Amino acid sequence: MKENKLRDLSTEFAVEIIELVKFLKSQRESIISNQIGRSGTSIGANIREAQYAQSKADFISKLQIALKENNETAYWLELLFKTNYIGRDKYDTLDKKCTSIRVMLIASLNTAKGN
């Protein structure tokens, strides 16, 4: 159940990131929009890849990559907020989801490493 929740939340987050990228491109912002588009959608892609990992080590590796991409996405969100491309409400909403995914990824990694 936990893995499905993580998968679903990361997909929902990716959709919101794509919508954010569309907005940023309409504002003629291309540097951060390209970066956050890649990292923000990569989280869910790596979680999906982990579902069909070839081994426990491969599973852990995919989740660790997702965690790294999550951390990078949080950085880009912070920069977008600090440069006034997104307001406080949008930042808080996306940052909260990003943090929730991070917490679930860490819990999943800890479980996987413990077994």
Q: In this structure, what token pair is assigned to residue 96?
A: 């909260």
Q: How many domains does the chain have?
A: 1
Task: Quick: pLDDT tens for 75-108.
Answer: 999 999 999 999 999 999 999 999 999 999 999 9
Residue range of the domain that includes 64: 2-114
Task: Quick: pLDDT tens for 9-28.
Answer: 999 999 999 999 999 999 99
- Chain-centre distance of CA 76, in angstroms? 11
Task: Quick: pLDDT tens for 27-44.
Answer: 999 999 999 999 999 999
Using a 10 angstrom Cβ sphere, with 0-12 exposed, 13-18 middle and 19 or more buried, the burial of residue 37 is buried
pTM of this prediction? 0.93
At 2 the pLDDT is 55
Amino acid letter for position 49: E
Q: In this structure, what token pair is assigned to residue 40?
A: 């923000």
Q: Which CATH number does the domain housing residue 109 bear?
A: 1.20.1440.60
